[in-house]
Amino acid sequence: MTQYQNADLHCHSVVSDGTLTPEALAERAKGNGVELWALTDHDEVGGLERARNAALGQGMRFLTGVEISITFLHQTVHIVGLGFDADNADLRQGLQQTRGGRDARAMEMSDGLAKVGIQGAYEGALKFVGNPQLISRTHFARFLVESGVCRDTNEVFRKFLVEGKPGYVPHRWATLKDAVTWITQAGGVAVIAHPARYKFTPNEEFALFTEFKGFGGQGVEVVTGSHAPAEYVTYAATAKEFGLAASRGSDFHSPDESHTELGTLPFLNSELTPVWELVSHRIQ
Ligand code: AMP
Ligand code: MN
Ligand code: MN
Ligand code: MN
């Protein structure tokens, strides 16, 4: 089996909330030495064909990818899918349904911001949207930076876009079972994205991993741009405890906003099973 070390299996293009095209991302990944690459736009597979062509053109290997928003125990959790058939009808329909609530949510977010004196946020955010079906909090954050309300997107999230803040709207996404099923019945592997980012108690986190496995999930992100180095160690242990394969990905969104560059994180510890081994037959 081909060995990969520099696999980057998590990033975003203009098809969701990234600022680069699939082609520009592929070029950037290749420039940073990425050997195996996946594009994982939020709730959307519309960029994968372009990404695949660009990756192969750059001489990289490619896996299909997606990052699905779900609600688990009242929190939003992200499930990454890798190596699935992007033409699978059930997967495509499920994702379309998931995207469906975003526009109404965005208008409610805008209403919330108007109440604290920020007018026109919906229209403002739309200027940053590459895919009309995928308006996200990130696009609002870019608008509030552009209009001088905050210095950077992090500050916008902290002050306006997280629970308890004026632009936050609770939202019911897909279920854990749905997301894992959409991915696995399309031939892919389901992966819990950036587990350290959630605010679960230890019991709740145990429930997430246990139910995820029960539904057929097989992977967890260990080395991600969303984890501190100590968390690589924590979640390497969790991967072993639950018998899950490990993934690695930058979660790159933009040259101006992302702290983590494509393809530059530490490699996975060799004691872990790399998640791409489970879908090696689907590597293009
Ligand atoms: P949404 O899917 O609309 O809820 O938006 C979620 C996206 O917001 C994530 O995928 C990140 O790209 C971005 N995000 C979440 N929290 C932060 C933060 N604290 N700072 C910057 N971006 C964030
Ligand atoms: Mn994002
Ligand atoms: Mn995420
Ligand atoms: Mn992401």
Q: How far is the CA of 250 from the centre of ligand 4 (A)?
A: 8
* Span 81-104, pLDDT tens digits: 999 999 999 999 999 999 999 999
Lateral strand order in the sheet of 219-224? 65-72, 75-82, 189-192, 219-224, 245-249
Q: Are residues 183 and 58 in the same domain?
A: yes
Q: Are residues 140 and 79 in the same domain?
A: no
Residue from 95, 105, 136, 258 whose mutation best tests the ligand 1 pocket (most atoms within 8 A of CB)? 136
Q: Which residues contact 86 (CB under 8 A, 6 or more apart)?
A: 45, 48, 49, 64, 92, 186
* Portion of the chain with pLDDT greater than 90, in percent: 98
* Span 10-25, pLDDT tens digits: 999 999 999 999 999 9
Q: Are residues 11 and 135 in the same domain?
A: no
Task: Please tell me if the CB atom of residue 2 comes closer than 6 angstroms to any atom of ligand 1.
Answer: no
Residue from 20, 75, 138 whose mutation best tests the ligand 1 pocket (most atoms within 8 A of CB)? 138
First CA to last CA distance, the chain: 14
Strand pairing report for 36-38 and 61-63: parallel
* Span 37-87, pLDDT tens digits: 999 999 999 999 999 999 999 999 999 999 999 999 999 999 999 999 999
Asked if the structure places residue 26 within a domain, the reply is yes
Q: So what's the pLDDT on residue 258?
A: 76
Of the listed ligands, the closest to the CA of 154 is 1
Q: Are residues 91 and 220 in the same domain?
A: yes
Asked if the structure places residue 149 within a domain, the reply is yes
Ligand 1 atom 21, closest CA: 154
Q: Are residues 217 and 180 in the same domain?
A: yes
> Cα separation of 194 and 212, whole Å?
14
Q: So what's the pLDDT on residue 259?
A: 82
Task: Please tell me if the CB atom of residue 78 comes closer than 6 angstroms to any atom of ligand 1.
Answer: no
Asked if the structure places residue 13 within a domain, the reply is yes
Count of structural domains, the chain: 2
Asked if the structure places residue 142 within a domain, the reply is yes
Residue from 137, 161, 197, 251 whose mutation best tests the ligand 1 pocket (most atoms within 8 A of CB)? 137
Q: Are residues 137 and 212 in the same domain?
A: no
Q: Are residues 82 and 213 in the same domain?
A: yes
pTM, two decimals, is: 0.97
Q: Are residues 236 and 269 in the same domain?
A: yes
Domain boundary pick from 133, 161, 189 = 161
| β-strand partners of 243 | none
Domain boundary pick from 121, 139, 161 = 161
Q: How far is the CA of 117 from the centre of ligand 4 (A)?
A: 30
Q: How far is the CA of 77 from the centre of ligand 3 (A)?
A: 8
Q: Are residues 91 and 106 in the same domain?
A: no
Domain boundary pick from 121, 142, 161 = 161
Residue range of the domain that includes 108: 102-161
Q: Are residues 206 and 259 in the same domain?
A: yes
Q: Are residues 111 and 85 in the same domain?
A: no
Asked if the structure places residue 248 within a domain, the reply is yes
Mean per-residue pLDDT of the chain: 97
> Domain holding 28: CATH number?
3.20.20.140
Q: Are residues 83 and 107 in the same domain?
A: no
Asked if the structure places residue 277 within a domain, the reply is yes
Task: Please tell me if the CB atom of residue 5 comes closer than 6 angstroms to any atom of ligand 1.
Answer: no
* Span 93-135, pLDDT tens digits: 999 999 999 999 999 999 999 999 999 999 999 999 999 999 9
> Domain holding 112: CATH number?
1.10.150.650
Asked if the structure places residue 166 within a domain, the reply is no
Task: Say if residues 62 and 168 touch (Cβ distance below 8 Å).
Answer: no
Q: How far is the CA of 255 from the centre of ligand 2 (A)?
A: 14
Asked if the structure places residue 153 within a domain, the reply is yes
Task: Say if residues 228 and 259 touch (Cβ distance below 8 Å).
Answer: no
pLDDT at 1 over 70: no
